[in-house]
A and B are shown apart, each in its own frame.
Chain A
Amino acid sequence: NAGVMQNPRHLVRRRGQEARLRCSPMKGHSHVYWYRQLPEEGLKFMVYLQKENIIDESGMPKERFSAEFPKEGPSILRIQQVVRGDSAAYFCASSPREGSTNIQYFGAGTRLSVL
């Protein structure tokens, strides 16, 4: 049973380019969460999605960032016109059902570097 798969593991972009980060949840999980982690910091919640629905995007910057979790395929976190401040590790987690008592299973992350 494969865990949460994120790709790519490392992504390098120049300022102004677009970054697309992918996350395939664990089999049977329909809830996906995206977090951002800056060096020496904890994880900051960005967005919570269920299949085809954004449930909570209160942690997402209002501009340039978007997320989706289509009926088929992985969840995508998209960052348009990247800036140096977007450099961070982005983690995806999944859980089988809603409710905060659910354990979240994390992927290995995508490390985005903006030059």
Chain B
Amino acid sequence: SQQGEEDPQALSIQEGENATMNCSYKTSINNLQWYRQNSGRGLVHLILIRSNEREKHSGRLRVTLDTSKKSSSLLITASRAADTASYFCATGDSGYSTLTFGKGTMLLVSP
């Protein structure tokens, strides 16, 4: 079964608003990563948060991780039309190289 499950499945907002996406997972993890996929393209890594970290920032991105609830959130502040894409969380197990992806949240940012 899927390790990561994103919520919501789809999100539609206006430029300038903030977008929040959530990810839940089932088993213990070493780290959690967020990726973006533009339509018809490959995935691009956004940010990685380790299991011993609670929050991380990168530009307009803010990621939180709550290992007790097995959940993570990705916040995009001051969204732009160019942020329109699908966003996936992926979990990595300790000492293991493969990642397990969720089904993604499709974000639409309207001008």
A-to-B contact residues, CB < 8 Å = 4, 6, 31, 33, 35, 40-45, 48, 55-56, 91, 93, 95, 98-109
A-B residue pair count with CB separations less than 8 angstroms: 69
Q: B79: shortest Cβ distance to chain A, in Å?
A: 22
By a CB distance below 8 angstroms, the chain A residues around B98 are 33, 45, 48, 56, 100
Contact B48 A101 (CB under 8 A): yes
Enumerate chain B residues within 8 angstroms of A95, measured Cβ to Cβ.
Answer: 97
Docked pose: A108 CA to B43 CA in angstroms: 8
In the complex, what's the smallest C-beta–C-beta distance from A14 to chain B, in angstroms? 24
**Chain B interface residues toward A at CB < 8 A:** 2, 4, 30-31, 33, 35, 41-45, 48, 50, 88, 92-104
Q: How far is the CB of B103 from chain A (nearest CB, A)?
A: 4
Contact A42 B2 (CB under 8 A): yes
If the complex has contacts A41-B103, A42-B102, A43-B101, are A100 and B96 also in contact, measured as CB distance less than 8 A?
yes
Could you tell me the distance in whole angstroms from the C-beta of B40 to the nearest C-beta in chain A?
8
Complex contacts, A4 vs chain B, CB 8 Å: 42
In the bound complex, do residue A42 and residue B88 qualify as a contact, i.e. CB atoms below 8 Å apart?
yes
User: When chains A and B are docked, how far (Å) is the Cα of A11 from the Cα of B100?
Assistant: 26
Residues of B within 8 A of A108 (CB): 41-42
Query: 27 pairs across A/B with beta carbons < 8 Å?
Result: A4-B42, A33-B97, A33-B99, A40-B103, A41-B103, A42-B4, A42-B88, A42-B102, A43-B88, A43-B101, A45-B98, A45-B99, A48-B97, A55-B97, A56-B97, A56-B98, A91-B42, A100-B31, A100-B92, A101-B30, A102-B97, A103-B33, A104-B43, A104-B99, A106-B35, A106-B42, A108-B41
Is the beta-carbon distance between B44 and A101 smaller than 8 angstroms? no
**Could you say which residues of chain A place their CB within 8 Å of the CB of B97?**
31, 33, 48, 55-56, 95, 98-100, 102
Question: Which of B42, B48, B100 is the most central at the interface, judged by chain A CB atoms within 10 Å of its CB?
Answer: B42
